[in-house]
Amino acid sequence: MSCGSELFCLQGTRIEMFNPKHLRCILIVIRLITIIRTVCATSLALSFNLKPLAMPDNVNTPSTLQELKKCNRLPSWQPHTIRHSDCTRALELFRATEGAKSGSQRFEFHTPGAHKASTLLPLSTPRVYPAGTCTIAVVMLASLPPSFLPPGVYPKVWPPIDIETLDELRNAAADVERTCVVMGGDYPRAGWVPRGRLSGSIGVLIYETGSLMDRIVRNEQRLNVDAM
């Protein structure tokens, strides 16, 4: 059976195109079928202890993470504003604080209480450099609550240790400042980039001083001091 341009075909039944009651019924049936298929697929996945919306294993690999550069205006990162001049001072504080250490030397960055995993000199995190409205922080992603992971990062079990140089972290912070704060013009943004030569699990963050993210990182910093 063929249908003209004025008709729909649905499993051999001719339905007039201009009958609104029939069209509504069709749309309702299609929606119910979609919902049933979604529920069945979810139930099947759960029966095998799978996550229906699980991300591919390669989402958080170092190569894909290195490509991420996320600027944001999330209220938890930037409730008000970040001034470029303050971020410039925060970068200077970064250099002054870590200046005695070799910039090209590789260090083992770790979360509070993590066991040493290499012969490299360890550096504990988070490392925080605040100046006015702007704070730069070097944070292990493993230490952040899942709901406060940087944009673009999917929750997983992050390693508590990674290896990087201070030069690379400083350059990363300067990159975020240039891309998110300076290029934001009258609307500067917070932002971050991932670093780490083993698993890309070091986050270099710029956010507003006093923000919720700032309080979370500083609480982790207090835990670090208590563990020492």
Three-state SS for 161? strand
* Token pair recorded at residue 186: 């009258």
Instruction: Name the band, by pLDDT with cuts 50, 70 and 90, for residue 52.
Output: very low
User: 107-147, pLDDT tens digit by residue?
Assistant: 999 998 888 888 999 999 999 999 999 999 999 999 999 88
Please state, in angstroms and rounded to a whole number, the distance separating the CA atoms of residues 109 and 89.
24
Check residue 147 and report its DSSP letter.
G
Please check whether residue 108 is in contact with residue 122, taking contact to mean a CB–CB distance below 8 angstroms. Answer: yes
The CB density around residue 202, as the number of other CB atoms within 10 Å, is 28
Domain ranges of the chain: 7-47, 57-227
Confidence (pTM): 0.69
User: 2-11, pLDDT tens digit by residue?
Assistant: 444 444 444 4
Task: Using the predicted structure, report yes or no on whether residue 44 has a pLDDT greater than 70.
Answer: no
